[in-house]
């Protein structure tokens, strides 16, 4: 929803190639959701414009002597996830590819469990960088391993084993031990939902639907 205001100030809108279809298809729904949330009249919020430039793999920008590397890392929390690397400062802005201090959210039909783990591997290409997550405090990549990589891998391994064994969804959800992550914010709201979505994704991959 920030697309319009930034564009009005002369900004060029940039997005990952996989994000563009969703942003175009959901633009009106985003606006209507904000109207409903803020109890505003119908039609009072304009749908956000689509980005003008897409990133296939990476894009380098020169901001007056400061270089930014915009890197596509695929489908993680959302399709077309981008990170921004600032080589001079050894900084990586990750958006919601990384969460700090709270349980990450697997959103049905949007997030991708395997893709998120592949995105983590892309982050490992910057071993000396400081990472600024979409939620939480900045830090080295190692500070995010438990709440991100380890959690995603545990979900993937458990649900894959359950699907392979023919275990039903609810039994698989009940058997997943999420207690190592129970201290993270939003655990109660998201743990069960994440387990449900992880099983659904592994089942879909196994049976091709």
pLDDT at site 209 = 75
Calculated CA dihedral for residues 162, 164, 167, 170, nearest 10 degrees: 50
Same domain, 61 and 51: no
Residues 20 and 77 in one domain: no
Give me the pLDDT at residue 109, please: 87
191 and 122 both lie in a single domain: yes
Question: Are 15 and 84 within one domain?
Answer: no
Tokens 């997943």 belong to 176
- CATH number of the domain at 107, please: 3.60.15.10
Q: Are residues 81 and 145 in the same domain?
A: yes
Question: Which ranges of the chain does DSSP label H, i.e. alpha helix?
Answer: 3-8, 19-38, 113-123, 151-165, 169-175, 187-207
Q: What is the pLDDT of residue 122?
A: 96
104 with 179, same domain: the answer is: yes
Q: What are phi and psi of 95, to 5 degrees?
A: 55, -145
Q: What is the pLDDT of residue 176?
A: 98
pLDDT along the chain (209 residues), means of 10: 93 92 91 94 92 93 92 95 96 97 94 97 96 97 98 98 97 97 97 97 90
> Which long-range CB contacts under 8 A does 202-209 form with residues at least 24 apart?
202/113, 202/156, 202/159, 202/160, 202/162, 202/163, 203/163, 203/169, 205/114, 206/163, 206/164
State the pLDDT at residue 208: 80
Residue the block writes with tokens 């894959």: 160
Give the number of domains in the chain: 2
- State whether 125 and 150 are in the same domain: yes
Q: Is the domain of 84 the same as that of 105?
A: yes
CA-angle at 119, arms to 113 and 120, nearest 5°: 95
Q: Tell me, what's the pLDDT at 65?
A: 87
Range of the domain at 76: 57-207
- My answer on whether 15 and 87 are in the same domain is no
Q: What pairs with residue 71 in β-bridges?
A: 58, 83
CA proximity to 77, closest of 112, 101, 123: 112
């Amino acid at each position: 929803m920030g697309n319009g205001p930034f564009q009005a100030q002369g900004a060029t809108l940039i997005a990952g190639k996989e994000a563009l279809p969703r942003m175009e298809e959901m633009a009106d729904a985003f606006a209507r959701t904000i109207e409903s949330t803020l109890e505003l009249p119908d039609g009072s919020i304009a749908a956000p414009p689509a980005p003008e430039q897409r990133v296939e793999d990476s894009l380098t920008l020169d901001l007056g002597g400061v270089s930014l590397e915009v890197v596509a890392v695929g489908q993680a929390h959302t399709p077309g996830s981008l990170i921004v690397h600032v080589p001079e400062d050894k900084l990586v802005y990750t958006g919601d590819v990384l969460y700090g201090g709270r349980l990450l959210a697997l959103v049905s039909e949007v997030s991708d469990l395997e893709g998120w783990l592949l995105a983590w591997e892309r982050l490992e290409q910057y071993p000396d960088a400081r990472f600024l997550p979409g939620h939480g405090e900045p830090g080295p990549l190692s500070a995010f391993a438990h709440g991100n990589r380890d959690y995603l891998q545990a979900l993937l391994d458990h649900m894959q084993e359950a699907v392979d064994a023919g275990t039903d969804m609810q039994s698989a959800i009940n058997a997943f031990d999420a207690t190592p992550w129970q201290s993270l914010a939003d655990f109660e709201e998201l743990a069960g939902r994440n387990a449900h979505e992880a099983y659904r994704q592994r089942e879909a991959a196994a049976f091709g639907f």
